[in-house]
Structure 1
Amino acid sequence: MSQLAAIFAAFALSCCNKPATGGPWPTTATATAQAPRPPAGPKRLIVAFGDSLYAGYGLKPGESWPAKLEKALWAKGINAKVVNAGVSGDTTAAARARLAFVLDAQPRAPDLVAVGLGGNDMLRGLAPAEARANIDAILTELDRRKIPALLTGMLAAPNLGADYAKDFNPIFPALANKHKAALVPFLLQPVVGRPELIQPDHVHPTAKGIDLIVADTVDDVAKALPAKPG
């Protein structure tokens, strides 16, 4: 847990990112030749509704969790379009305010909405009860629209204290249970304690870190999809 504390403490003091670096990168011709293609079958529409961990903060185009998740689903034979509706810095309140706009902007009702929020509330020390109420409202609206949800959880930084963690950490399993949503208990679990997979801001995963997170979550997403597309 000490590594997690260091990650969040650094984020609280950070106001910007540096992009992850690496290489060599494939040429355009090579990338085009190797580009995966969606499989046959009805297309599933998934909306990734979250904060910077979904938005791909500090990463190149195509390296975010939603972008790589889409390709991982293709590899499993699932023809999916994953819309990246992540906004860096979003609190649960800000996300709640834009939910209807995001959903109404889709060509049809999504087959699944992944919800990844709460980290910015925690880093700002906002009351866990507020985060709980806002995420609850988001899931309630998805219920009202009969849209299945997958909740990707967050843990409180240990330096915030045991009392804060006691109130914050149960938010995600409790709300997943209440709304019968699928749950990934802690999205960042695959990269905790592995600094080589974290960007220089000590918070956001590198592209290789995202690869591990996708591998850890793709089955959860696939299982959360309804049997038939909407």
Structure 2
Amino acid sequence: MLRILLLLAFLVAPLSAGGAQETAKVAEPRGVTILAFGDSLTAGYGLAEGLGFAPQLEDALRREGLAATVIDAGVSGDTSAQGRERLGWTLDSLEELPDVAILELGGNDMLRALDPSVTEENLAAMIEALQAREIEVVLAAIPAARNYGPDYVAAFDAVYPALGERYGIPVLPFVPEGASRAGLLLPDGVHPNFEGVKQIVTAFTARLVPLLD
């Protein structure tokens, strides 16, 4: 009888170890796929590969314990109308749809002093298209330059919170205060350099992580 008990103990031990390994496998970082859909700010304009917004955001989220994959779908110079035109085929070209889309457009509309109501219409159409595919949307708010006059600034800045309220989506400021100061921009004085993008990503990540949780 003792021999039988010892034999059973020997056979059960590996099974217990295997069960522990299976438990360890379950405790993996949470995975999420994010589409960064925008203009030059998400495309990493003027920066070497791997230094732009999407790769920096992916690294930042992974440091927070999220097994994130961030897809760079930024096109420099895109207006909201151009983004609206390419959103469908961008999504169709992906092997799998993302869990979340960061929608960052409108800056080039503002630089061209386009009617904010047109920007709002285009952004609304993109939000609806993403939600129709069951993709969670995070709207990145771009502030209007203060030299466009108080009426235009007020109208443009109101676009993002209005859309957030209408569609029940989070609106996060994309450019933190101070990100445009000297030393954080490329020589063109408009686009952020590596350190500028890093500051944007740090502030954006702090607000994004609680939403992903």
Q: TM-score normalised by the shorter chain: which range applies?
A: 0.7 to 0.9
Query: Contact (CA 8 Å) 2:144, 2:157: kept in 1 or not?
Result: yes
Query: Contact (CA 8 Å) 2:179, 2:199: kept in 1 or not?
Result: no
The two structures have a TM-score, normalised by structure 2, of 0.83
* Percent of pairs with identical residues: 39
Structure 1 distance, partners of 2:203, 2:30, is 25
Structure 2 distance, partners of 1:189, 1:172, is 15
Q: Which amino acid aligns with 2:201?
A: V
Q: Where does 1:51-200 land on structure 2 (aligned, <5 Å)?
A: 51-185=39-173, 187-200=174-187
Q: What per-residue deviation string (whole Å, max 9, x for no partner) do you get for residues 150-191 of structure 1?
A: 111111112211111121101111111211212113x12244
Structure with the higher helix share, 1 or 2: 2
Q: Which amino acid aligns with 2:33?
A: L
Q: How many pairs align?
A: 187
- Kindly report the root-mean-square deviation, in angstroms, between the aligned alpha carbons of the 2 structures: 1.6
| Alpha-carbon offset, residue 220 of structure 1 | 2.5
**2:32 paired residue among 21, 44, 66:** 44
Structure 1 distance, partners of 2:99, 2:117, is 29
Structure 1 unmatched ranges of 5 or more: 1-38
The two structures have a TM-score, normalised by structure 1, of 0.77
Structure 2 unmatched ranges of 5 or more: 1-26
- Kindly report structure 1 stretches of 4+ aligned residues shifted beyond 6 Å: none
Structure 1 distance, partners of 2:90, 2:168, is 22
Q: Which amino acid aligns with 2:135?
A: I
Larger radius of gyration: 2
Q: Which amino acid aligns with 2:110?
A: M
Structure 2 distance, partners of 1:116, 1:202, is 20
Partner of 2:196 in structure 1?
Answer: 209
| Alpha-carbon offset, residue 83 of structure 1 | 0.3
> Could you say which structure has the greater relative contact order, defined with CA pairs below 8 angstroms and 6 or more residues apart?
1
Structure 2 distance, partners of 1:91, 1:141, is 17
Q: Which amino acid aligns with 2:188?
A: D
